[in-house]
Amino acid sequence: MKLNSYFHTSRFLPVIALMGIVFLGFQQLPMSVVFAQTVNLVDDQAPLLASSSAKGGEESASVSASPLPLPSPENKELTNLREKYKTDLSIYRTDERDFSLAKSQLQKLQTLASLEVAVKATRKVMITRAIVLQDYVQILNLIVKDTSGIDVAEKAALIKQLESANDRLKANQLLSEQAIDRESVQVAALDFAKFGDAVSNLSYKSMSYINYGRLQSVYDKMVVVRDEVTTHVNSEESNGLKLGEKRRALDQISQNLVVTKQSLDQLHTTFLPSRSGQEADFEAGAYPRTVQTLSTIYADLYRNLTFLREVVKE
């Protein structure tokens, strides 16, 4: 079999397809998600505030944008859940606008009637926030389950964390639904404040793991392809000069892959607890740095894939 023919029948095509999936995983979709936004009731003078961290201070009730990883591969359950997420997010946006309006009116009028409207708007936006966050966490859960390249034990632990977060959001939704007055609405708001940041960090952690796992899968498949090409070159290449050139090229590719593996392993250590057992922090600022590192590794893998394709050409 000619080397060029081997290129079309080997595992190159699955690797190329996987590289495309990983690239899409780095793209930011036209969606956003409420992360640690906390609707909170404070006091009579400023009873309706929205805080991004539940630490006080008046802010607008805006939401944080975040890329939602693409599934790999897509499945019906995930498709349906993504559609539900978009619908629920649209509902949340409407409730958020109503909340902002009610807050503005309360601060302007300071009447019992405006307070009643504000409390109802707060309760409603907290319910829809819990719903849309549950959608988001479930999407991440499904994609994590579907992502190879993640250590089995680490994947199981991450899935357990996502399921626990989803249960916690359900409990907060129920608490908000059962709230009937300002005091009980405040209880529900403070309850969310206890775990909202943890849900945000878990989301960034999951997205980091998903993109890392996809690149690890690309690396693993590329090593297999490298070995197959090496075997094929040694058994099929009859031209001594070309054989020497291709062996040197394969040696260089192997050296490059060693460096790439070191980068992957170094990144992987940032996901793991420290020696003292402290969990890694995945706040919003850490995620872009992870993506930047992954993008560099992606470029290295793509370059070596190109080199491999050159080796198998006639």
The DSSP line for 185-227 is HHHHHHHHHHHHHHHHHHHHHHHHHHHHHHHHHHHHHHHHHHH
The SS3 assignment for 20 reads: helix
pLDDT tens string 141-195? 999 999 999 999 999 999 999 999 999 999 999 999 999 999 999 999 999 989 9
Tens place of pLDDT for every residue, the chain, 314 residues?
555 555 455 555 655 555 555 544 443 332 334 433 433 332 222 222 223 233 333 333 333 334 445 545 557 898 899 889 889 988 988 998 999 899 899 889 989 999 999 999 999 999 999 998 999 999 999 999 999 999 999 999 999 999 999 999 999 999 999 999 999 999 999 999 899 888 888 988 998 899 899 999 999 999 998 999 899 888 887 788 888 899 999 999 999 999 999 999 999 998 888 888 788 777 777 788 888 899 999 999 999 989 988 888 75
pLDDT tens string 241-254? 888 899 999 999 99
List CB contacts of 102: < 8 A, sequence separation 6 or more.
Answer: 48, 114, 117, 118, 120, 121, 122
The residues facing 50 across adjacent strands are 39, 59
Q: What is the pLDDT of residue 227?
A: 93
Q: What is the pLDDT of residue 12?
A: 57
Q: What is the pLDDT of residue 241?
A: 83
Q: DSSP letter at 40?
A: E
Q: What is the pLDDT of residue 70?
A: 53
The SS3 assignment for 39 reads: strand
**Dist CA 233 CA 237 (whole Å):** 5
Q: What is the pLDDT of residue 2?
A: 52
The whole-model pTM stands at: 0.80
**Dist CA 161 CA 212 (whole Å):** 18
